Amino acid sequence: MEKRATFSSTTIGLLFVLPMLVLMFVFFYWPSGQALYWAFTLEQPWGGGNTWVGLQNFRQLLADPYYWGAIGRSLVFGLGSTTIAMGLALVLALFTDRELRGHKAYRSVFIWPYAIAAPALGLAFRFILAPEAGFLSLINQVWPGLWNPALDGKDAMIAVIVAFSWKYIGYNFIFFLSALQSIPRSLTEAAAMDGSGPLRRMWDIQLPLLTPTLFFLLVINITESFQDSFGIIDIMTQGGPARATELMVYKIYFDGFKGLDYSGAAAQSIILMLLVILLTIVQFRFIERRVHYK
Amino acid sequence: MNAKLSSAFGTFAVAALLAGPAAADKTKIDFWFGNSGDIAKRVQEQCDRFNASQTDYEVVCTSQGTYDASLQNTIAAFRAGQQPTIAQVSDAGTLDIMLSGAYYPANKLMTDMGYTVDWTDYFPGIANYYATSKGEMYSFPFNSSTALLYWNKDAFAKIGKDHAPKTWEEAAADFKALKAAGYACPLAFNISRDEVWQLGEQFMAVHGEPMATKRNGFEGLDAELTFNKGKWVQFVKDLKGWYDNGEAVIKSKETGQTFIEAFANGDCQVILTSVGDHGNIGRTAKEGVNWDVAMLPVYEGTDRKSSFVGGASLWVLNGKSEPEYKAAAAFFDFIAKPEEALTWSTVTGYIPVRNSGFKYLNEQGFYDKAPYKGREHAIASLTASSAEDPAPQGIRLGGLLQIRQEISNGLQSIFVNNEDVQTALDQSAERGNQILRRFEQTYQGKTLP
């Protein structure tokens, strides 16, 4: 009989996972529980106590037309940045996969933007996109007043979407590239021998085989665009002009960290969490059907 | 759960203390502040001077980057039982800490530690801003400033003027003349959250107009905003008029150049900003830019009142030991010295907060010398009316930063989206009132000291 090292009880197993469980509890469940509790109270910032207010925080938020505006803008931002970040990353990955000139350099360079902290990124883009002093001021010299994110809400939204997408293009690129490289060469070679050009091969072979990666990145990008944008917004627009870039997550950051309204921020976090969960469910329910894992 | 965790933190702290090197004979205390860059360096120098001046205490000064971050970190540390002894809290955070009971009142601290402080030596405008409704000082005014009008003398000479506008009517005529003389940007301003205080709060202060009922909130948490009902509405309309005529231009980081940079560069001829920028503009002004400062203009027929102080004050937090409080008191005693006021005002743009300091600076001829000349206008502005004046002496509103954001949103919708001035300001006030009611409910059952 084969000799096996077995543990007689689950205790030892549990002991091994205990540190991880403690970590998860302390850094995930405990703060989440705290936020959930605060969302139903009015918490004094210095810890002097709180009062239970039931659903008041949620009622106030949902009755506020500007909060709904922030939800709408978050969706626009999420869709816009995901489309750009995934679209461009895919094109770049397809090119790199075809081993165009310099593909080795791209492979390592394109991941860099992801490593840049959001505030630094915001600072750089604020300069690049400034209407009077940045690179884009050239546009204004040709068509005066065409580009002004400081005073035009639409331009400001475009500016933050561009900055955010730029960061995630690199991240998406790496996933796309590795997925492309795992597609068996024999498939594309066979197609090439049958006379299909590069575009046809991309469309009929590579893209269908990429769907699991596409789906994964879609979920990640949408989620991140709802959560990771406040640093860029804070540096580039502070939610302005006239609320044009006030996204849900920036409002949480501002109300909680600057305004010391912990309970309001907690309630907003819960709403944001529910929205992200909902979006993820929708994606799994309706989009995953079209994904072929095999 | 909370109590358990903080006691766990406490145990940890004790353990850390015991494990540390054998207690030195010096008492060490922490001082957290929010200034950064050059000002942070100056604060650090002040701490070093204190540490060198005696052998009993050592203050460890740590910059937390910004006022907001400093307050956040202090609160988080306080809730975990790891707070510094001294914390800097800006004007916007004053009310929250005042209601928290998390502090050792400054006046009590100094009495308990055997120091006599002449609280009347503080400029009333500065003291009243941070004092309780009964006039007691719970914190020490620290870095203090107020808004001034900066004007380009050469540009004004071109339109035949040798002085800054004293009234807004005069200013309007000047802007028009400057525009006609070919200047592209007579007045530069910004309407972001952090730049509306000089346009709004200071305007209402010098006009003696309340921003909210209950003396701007000093007499109760049930105050309501009234900035949408007074002269300020007219000012916003005028400003919008200048803006539409190209006589006033929005300059911000987002457009590529802040209004301060635009002024220092000679691109814009008038700005309203803190006296704290006086040093900065002096250092960065383009060669040949000939400028000066003046008090904020008022509308004709206005009885000028004191402007409000901006900046931050120092709070002593609860839960520290007797020796640590002794050290804190010694530190406050040290920075109150007139010589410290001189050094502080020399290296920063901030003004002395006490009469004695101001007198000392005057005696030393500080305000006659070129780079510092003009800063005395800030004192004149802060002391324009007497301390007994019935006009509000400061702002004590909950969620002040959020209210500023609402005002900023209102102004942005006026200037960017051409919304009606009265409608937009009414809406800002209404939304601000919701913030105040929420704040009042959060501190239900607490009374304003």
What average pLDDT does this structure show over B87-111?
91
Residue with tokens 């719970």: B138
- Looking up residue B334, the CATH number of its domain turns out to be 3.40.190.10
Q: Three-state DSSP class for B409?
A: helix
Q: Is A140 on the interface with B (CB under 8 A)?
A: no
Q: Which residues of A touch B438 (CB under 8 A)?
A: 42, 60, 261, 264
Q: How far is A151 from chain B (nearest CA, A)?
A: 6
Contact in structure between A80 and A156 (CB atoms under 8 Å): no
> Cα(B59)–Cα(B430) distance, rounded to whole angstroms?
45
8 Å CB contact of B254 and A130: yes
Smallest CA–CA distance from B445 into chain A, residue: A51
Do B57 and B102 lie in one domain? The reply is: yes
8 Å CB contact of A240 and B79: no
Among A48, A150, A261, the residue with its CB nearest the CB of B399 is A261
Do B100 and B198 lie in one domain? The reply is: no
Do B348 and B270 lie in one domain? The reply is: no
Q: Is A176 on the interface with B (CB under 8 A)?
A: no
Split at pLDDT 50, 70, 90, the class of B174 is very high
Among A30, A45, A242, the residue with its CB nearest the CB of B75 is A45
Cα separations in angstroms, B362 against B86, B125, B277, B343, B352: 30, 19, 20, 13, 11
Contact in structure between B413 and B424 (CB atoms under 8 Å): yes
Confidence (pLDDT) at A217: 93
DSSP string, A47-105: SS-EEE-TTHHHHHHHT-HHHHHHHHHHHHHHHHHHHHHHHHHHHHHHHHHTT-TTHHH
Split at pLDDT 50, 70, 90, the class of B18 is very low
Residues paired with residue B31 on neighbouring β-strands, in sequence order = B61, B86
Q: Three-state DSSP class for B91?
A: helix
Give the helix/strand (H/E) hosting B30.
strand B27-33
Do B111 and B98 lie in one domain? The reply is: yes
Split at pLDDT 50, 70, 90, the class of B372 is confident
* Mean pLDDT over each residue of chain B, to the nearest integer: 89
Nearest to B142 by CA among B324, B379, B344, B325: B344
Smallest CA–CA distance from B80 into chain A, residue: A47
Chain A with chain B: Cβ pairs closer than 8 A:
112
Q: Which residues of B touch A255 (CB under 8 A)?
A: 402
Confidence (pLDDT) at B247: 95
8 Å CB contact of B443 and A133: no
Confidence (pLDDT) at A6: 67
Confidence (pLDDT) at A5: 66
Confidence (pLDDT) at A7: 61
Interface of A with B in 39-98 (CB under 8 A): 42-48, 50-51, 53, 60
The answer to whether residue B22 scores a pLDDT higher than 60 is: no
Domains of chain B: total:
2
Tokens of B38: 């050059």
Nearest to B266 by CA among B291, B289, B294, B293: B289
Q: How far is B75 from chain A (nearest CA, A)?
A: 6
> Cα(B111)–Cα(B117) distance, rounded to whole angstroms?
8
Do B438 and B294 lie in one domain? The reply is: yes
Do B242 and B289 lie in one domain? The reply is: yes
Confidence (pLDDT) at A80: 96
Cα end-to-end span (Å), chain A = 38
The answer to whether residue B48 scores a pLDDT higher than 70 is: yes
Residue B33 lies in a domain: yes
> How do the residues of chain A divide into helix, strand and coil, expressed in percent and rounded to 5?
75, 0, 25
Residue B190 lies in a domain: yes
Among A137, A238, A261, the residue with its CB nearest the CB of B193 is A238
> Cα(B367)–Cα(B375) distance, rounded to whole angstroms?
7
Among A43, A132, A264, the residue with its CB nearest the CB of B257 is A132
Question: Which segment of A140-144, A174-178, B138-142, B376-380 scores lowest on mean pLDDT?
Answer: A140-144
Q: Is B273 on the interface with A (CB under 8 A)?
A: no
What residue ranges of chain A have pLDDT lower than 50?
none
Do B26 and B122 lie in one domain? The reply is: yes
Q: Which residues of B touch A42 (CB under 8 A)?
A: 438, 441-442, 444
Produce one character per residue of B156-175: b if its CB has 16 or more CB atoms within 10 Å, e if not: beebebeebbbebeebbebb
Which residue, among B442, B443, B444, B446, would best test binding to A if mutated, counting the most A CBs under 10 Å from its CB? Answer: B442
What average pLDDT does this structure show over B239-249?
95
Produce one character per residue of B336-360: b if its CB has 16 or more CB atoms within 10 Å, e if not: bbbebbbbbbbebbbbbbbbebbeb
Split at pLDDT 50, 70, 90, the class of B12 is very low
Q: Is A143 on the interface with B (CB under 8 A)?
A: no
The answer to whether residue B13 scores a pLDDT higher than 50 is: no
Cα separations in angstroms, B344 against A158, B35, B236, B341: 44, 14, 36, 5
Residue B389 lies in a domain: no
What average pLDDT does this structure show over B243-271?
93
Q: Which residues of B touch A260 (CB under 8 A)?
A: 71, 75, 93, 96, 399
Smallest CA–CA distance from A60 into chain B, residue: B434
CATH number of this structure's domain A37-290, picked from the four choices 1.10.3720.10, 3.40.50.2000, 3.30.565.10, 3.40.50.300: 1.10.3720.10
> Three-state secondary structure along A156-187?
HHHHHHHHHHHHHHHHHHHHHHHHHHCCCHHH
Do B155 and B277 lie in one domain? The reply is: yes
Q: Are strands A50-52 and B147-152 parallel, antiparallel or unpaired?
A: unpaired
Q: Which domain holds residue B171?
A: 147-307+398-442
Do B325 and B366 lie in one domain? The reply is: yes
Residue with tokens 């919008």: B240
Smallest CA–CA distance from B66 into chain A, residue: A258
Cα separations in angstroms, A180 against A112, A201, A219, B81, B257: 20, 12, 19, 53, 45
Residue with tokens 């209601």: B99
Q: Which residues of A touch B250 (CB under 8 A)?
A: 150-151
8 Å CB contact of B442 and A153: no
Nearest to B349 by CA among B34, B19, B39, B27: B39
8 Å CB contact of B441 and A238: no
Tokens of A187: 């498939």
Question: Which segment of A122-126, B57-61, B230-234 scores lowest on mean pLDDT?
Answer: A122-126
Confidence (pLDDT) at B2: 46
The DSSP letter of residue B85 is S
Do B332 and B288 lie in one domain? The reply is: no
Do B57 and B140 lie in one domain? The reply is: yes
Which residue, among A30, A43, A46, would best test binding to B if mutated, counting the most B CBs under 10 Å from its CB? Answer: A46
Q: For A99-152, where are the alpha helices, taking DSSP H only?
A: 103-109, 112-115, 118-129, 137-142
Split at pLDDT 50, 70, 90, the class of B412 is very high
Smallest CA–CA distance from B408 into chain A, residue: A242
8 Å CB contact of B443 and A44: yes
> Cα(B188)–Cα(B185) distance, rounded to whole angstroms?
6
Which domain-ending residue is among B324, B344, B378?
B378
Q: Three-state DSSP class for A238?
A: coil
Q: Which residues of B touch A137 (CB under 8 A)?
A: 256
Which residue, among A127, A136, A258, would best test binding to B if mutated, counting the most B CBs under 10 Å from its CB? Answer: A258
Do B316 and B230 lie in one domain? The reply is: no
* pLDDT tens figures, B152-172: 999 999 999 999 999 999 999
8 Å CB contact of B441 and A53: yes
* pLDDT tens figures, B183-192: 999 999 999 9
Q: What is the pTM of this model?
A: 0.88
Residue B388 lies in a domain: no
Among B72, B93, B399, the residue with its CB nearest the CB of A257 is B72
State the amino acid at position A152 in one-letter form.
Answer: D
Nearest to B191 by CA among A253, A147, A238: A238
* pLDDT tens figures, A105-121: 777 787 888 888 888 88
Confidence (pLDDT) at A192: 87
Confidence (pLDDT) at A3: 62
Split at pLDDT 50, 70, 90, the class of B235 is very high
Task: Give the number of other CB atoms < 10 A from CB of residue B68.
Answer: 19
